[in-house]
Structure 1
Amino acid sequence: MGFTGTKNYIASKELQLAVNAAITLEKPLLIKGEPGTGKTMLAEELSASLGADLLQWHIKSTTKAQQGLYEYDAVSRLRDSQLGDARVHNIGNYIVKGKLWQAFTAEKRPVLLIDEIDKADIEFPNDLLLELDKMEFFVYETQERIVAKQRPIVIITSNNEKELPDAFLRRCFFHYIQFPEREEMTQILDVHFPNIKKDLLEKALTSFFQIRDVGGIKKKPSTSELIDWLKLLVADDIPASVLQDNDAKNALPPLYGALLKNEQDIHLFEKLMFMARR
């Protein structure tokens, strides 16, 4: 049975095709898109829909590819040797399994999320080429080869902060999540706010998309920020009449701090408001 989204996650037809194609080809699915468009949530909902375990490897600027395989805790072994602990005779006691090792040896096919791969060093993707392609690696300390019992479903996300190597891209199935159009956004919000007043939802969506359309805005608000904004509007019982029917781009919306995240964009809107008043 193919992935068609879940009750908590609205997946476009294109995204559904990409997920199912990657599973069929047994290739990692590389997902790009604006921050807040549901890339990480895709892996969570995919694992839930398949009834599979989810292993999450969140990448930082200091993350090394080796950490995804395993790490040798030499410091603990040295300390135990000084204390005369018998554990030191088995070096395997000091091998810390990484997320790939856990995925390779799982009894049931898991979903492995490698989140925000573009945060790491440029060589990070290249360092995982063999492991993701052959689904195996060698542990030098114990002289054992770890081979995947079955290929995990690998979801890799990127915010496009840096280009990924061609050799890495060749091994992936790629999909870019387009920002939702108004109709699809309405479906997404219906999942999160099934009882929201329709006039509030319509005017909030109008304001949101007009803000995104303002020329010169540095950081466009995302889907997750729209959801946060609507939560605040509902919690504070903001009436729909407070939101602008037209020219929302010339006024700061109530609780705008959920949508605008830097002073440059706020100054831009203040300037537009001043010009509109003139």
Structure 2
Amino acid sequence: MKFDSTDSYIATSELKTAVNAAIALQRPLLIKGEPGTGKTMLAEEVAESLGKRLLQWNIKSTTKAQQGLYEYDAVSRLRDSQLGDEKVHDIGNYIVKGKLWEAFEADEQVVLLIDEIDKADIEFPNDLLQELDKMEFFVYETQKIVKAKQRPIVIITSNNEKELPDAFLRRCFFHYIRFPDPATMQQIVDVHFPKLKQELVSEALQMFFDLRDIPGLKKKPSTSELIDWLKLLNSDDIPEDVLRNRDSRSAIPPLYGALVKNEQDVQLLERLAFMTRR
């Protein structure tokens, strides 16, 4: 069982090695990288490549680790007791299973994605140490232990918004997705736009990487934003001559709203364009 690139996802040899090493070690795979480099998509493609079901747990700032295990719906039980409902006598009727429970009780091995773990409270990763390590947890309300039937393939993503605890890091296999070089980016573009004129792709990639190299840029455009930009260039039938402008290193790209995401960077590009014209 080996992960490889798919028809819609180009994985570098280092990334494929990391995924397969984590599977072999039965450790969670911790993936870091710039936003838009395909961290979330990786889990989807791993599941597709290996023919497994994907369970996705999207983490927010308010998410608690307990929610991944289960939640006890005491409010519903109180309401049912007031209404005289018979199911109130079985507390199990009020246990809401979380994504980890779903993964643990699956008859076949699944891929579990814990997406953007760094959005949660700093204690969130530590609160999952035991469960991810031993693949079991205790349900206090029913006094039962839930054990994984099949150890899931766990993929955890982080945008580096917060430092993760050392105890958590020790239990993971780590990989940082480096930003694709031009050759890899060409492969990624070809997967998404196999029929796009190569002259347009070549000029667009040159302008894209020139834009990323501008000093002082607050948010560099990502892979996903490049794909959106190329889609617009193609749909609007922008000729490659427009992108071939030799002042493109300083000028604002056409349809720049797909690439530049804040006013500070727009103002920076406007100043550079003005200085070039002078």
Report the TM-score, using the length of structure 2 for normalisation: 0.99
Question: Which residue identity does 2:12 align to in structure 1?
Answer: S
Residues in 1 aligned to 2:246 and 2:66: alpha-carbon distance in whole angstroms = 54
Deviation of 1:84 after TM superposition, in Å, equals 0.6
In structure 2, the residue corresponding to 1:248 is in which secondary structure?
coil
Task: Verify the 8 A CA contact 1:33 1:177 in the aligned structure 2.
Answer: yes
1:141 alignment counterpart: 141
In structure 2, the residue corresponding to 1:191 is in which secondary structure?
helix
Residues in 1 aligned to 2:12 and 2:137: alpha-carbon distance in whole angstroms = 36
Deviation of 1:244 after TM superposition, in Å, equals 3.4
Residues in 1 aligned to 2:232 and 2:253: alpha-carbon distance in whole angstroms = 12
Question: Which residue identity does 2:264 align to in structure 1?
Answer: Q
Question: Which residue identity does 1:38 align to in structure 2?
Answer: G
1:230 alignment counterpart: 230
Residues in 2 aligned to 1:134 and 1:247: alpha-carbon distance in whole angstroms = 58
Deviation of 1:2 after TM superposition, in Å, equals 1.0
Task: Verify the 8 A CA contact 2:56 2:112 in the aligned structure 1.
Answer: yes
1:246 alignment counterpart: 246
1:29 alignment counterpart: 29
Task: Verify the 8 A CA contact 1:203 1:245 in the aligned structure 2.
Answer: no
In structure 2, the residue corresponding to 1:15 is in which secondary structure?
helix
Question: Which residue identity does 1:252 align to in structure 2?
Answer: I
Deviation of 1:128 after TM superposition, in Å, equals 0.3
Deviation of 1:51 after TM superposition, in Å, equals 1.1
1:264 alignment counterpart: 264
Question: Which residue identity does 1:122 align to in structure 2?
Answer: I
2:44 alignment counterpart: 44
Task: Verify the 8 A CA contact 2:4 2:49 in the aligned structure 1.
Answer: no
In structure 1, the residue corresponding to 2:60 is in which secondary structure?
coil
In structure 2, the residue corresponding to 1:194 is in which secondary structure?
coil
Give the unaligned 5+ runs of structure 2: none
Deviation of 1:245 after TM superposition, in Å, equals 4.1
Report the TM-score, using the length of structure 1 for normalisation: 0.99
Question: Which residue identity does 1:25 align to in structure 2?
Answer: L
In structure 2, the residue corresponding to 1:250 is in which secondary structure?
coil
1:35-74 aligned at under 5 Å gives the runs 35-74=35-74
**1:98 and 2:83 are equivalent in the alignment:** no
Aligned residues: 278
Deviation of 1:163 after TM superposition, in Å, equals 0.3
2:125 alignment counterpart: 125
In structure 1, the residue corresponding to 2:57 is in which secondary structure?
strand
Give the unaligned 5+ runs of structure 1: none
Deviation of 1:247 after TM superposition, in Å, equals 3.5
**Percent identity for Structure 1 against Structure 2:** 74
Deviation of 1:172 after TM superposition, in Å, equals 0.1
In structure 1, the residue corresponding to 2:249 is in which secondary structure?
helix
Task: Verify the 8 A CA contact 2:68 2:98 in the aligned structure 1.
Answer: yes
1:107 alignment counterpart: 107
Task: Verify the 8 A CA contact 2:247 2:276 in the aligned structure 1.
Answer: no
2:168 alignment counterpart: 168
Residues in 1 aligned to 2:79 and 2:13: alpha-carbon distance in whole angstroms = 55
Deviation of 1:23 after TM superposition, in Å, equals 0.1
Residues in 2 aligned to 1:131 and 1:5: alpha-carbon distance in whole angstroms = 30
Q: Which runs of structure 1 show a deviation greater than 6 angstroms over 4 or more consecutive aligned residues?
A: none
Deviation of 1:249 after TM superposition, in Å, equals 2.2
Residues in 2 aligned to 1:29 and 1:186: alpha-carbon distance in whole angstroms = 27
Residues in 2 aligned to 1:119 and 1:101: alpha-carbon distance in whole angstroms = 21
